Amino acid sequence: MNNTPVVQQPRRRPLWLVGALTVLSLGAYIPIWYGLSWAELKRETDDGGSSPMARGTGDAGMQPLAHALSIFVPVYGVWQAYRHFALIDALRRKVDAARGVDALTGAIGTGIWWLTFTHYSSEPIFQALDAIELAAGTAVILYGQRGLNAYWRARPGTPVAERVTEVDWVALGVAASFAFLTLVGALMGPAS
C-alpha cells in the first residue's frame, strides 16, 4: 500500500486559484480548503506548542478529514473555524508579530457561509442569501489563504513556492463545469 501523504509539502496557493475554486464550486471548496490547509498545519505544528488553540495537534488530535467535515456541524463548525484561524494567527505572528489574522473574523465568515450553504431554496430571498453566502465564504478562504501564504513566505527554513498543481487544474475544470451546468440548469428551468 502506498503510504505517501496526499498533501506532501506546504505550498502557497495563489489567491486567484482559491477564489476561483470557491466561486466556481458555489462554496463546496470551503470545507476542502479547511481540510487541505489543516493537513499542512498539522505537519507544521508537530510539536503541538504553537498555540493553545492547537492543543491535540498530534496524529490523534488533528485529523484533516474530520476537521473539514466538522465545518458542517452547527456551532461546533464555527468553533473549528475559530481554532483554524487562531492557529494560522499563531504561526503568522511567530514570523511577523505585527501581522496576524483575526480568528473571530474567520469564524463569523464561516458561520455566515454555513447558514445559507446548508439551507437551499429557489425562492428569490434565498437566492440573494446564497450570493451573500458565496461572498462570505470566498472572503474567508481568501483571508485564511493570504495569512497562510504570508507565513509560508516568511517562515525560516526551506522556501515554500507558490504553485498550481495538476490536481488544481483538474479541480478548476470540474468546478467550472459544475458552475456552467448549474447556470444552464437555472436558466432552462421550468418557467413559473
Task: Kindly list the averaged pLDDT for each block of 10 residues, start to end, along the chain of length 192.
Answer: 56 94 93 92 70 49 86 91 95 90 93 76 78 91 95 87 92 94 80 57
Residue 53 confidence (pLDDT): 52
pTM of the model: 0.84
Q: What is the per-residue pLDDT for 25?
A: 92
Closest CA to 45 of 26, 30, 62, 20: 62
The DSSP annotation for 94-160 comes to: HH-TT----HHHHHHHHHHHHHHHTS---SHHHHHHHHHHHHHHHHHHHHHHHHHHHHHHHSSSS--
Alpha carbons 16 and 73: distance in angstroms, whole number: 28
Q: What pLDDT shows up at residue 191?
A: 59
Q: Where in the chain are the domains?
A: 23-160
